[in-house]
Amino acid sequence: MNIIIDGDSFPFKDEILKIAKEFQVQVIMVLSVSHYSKEINKELEIILVDNYKEAADMKIFNITSPEDIVITGDFGLAALLLTKNTTVISPRGMVFNTGDIDYLLAIRHKEAKLRRGGKKTRGPDKLSSEDRERFSSVIFKLLKKK
The Cα–Cα gap between 17 and 136 comes to 11
Q: What is the CATH number of the domain that holds 12?
A: 3.40.50
Asked if 91 and 73 touch (Cβ cutoff 8 Å), the reply is yes
- The confidence band for 55, taking pLDDT boundaries of 50, 70 and 90, is very high
Range of the domain at 77: 2-145
Asked if 135 and 93 touch (Cβ cutoff 8 Å), the reply is yes
Q: What is the DSSP letter of 125?
A: P
What total of structural domains would you count in the chain? 1
Q: What is the pTM of this model?
A: 0.85
Residue range 123-142, pLDDT digits in tens? 778 888 899 999 999 999 99
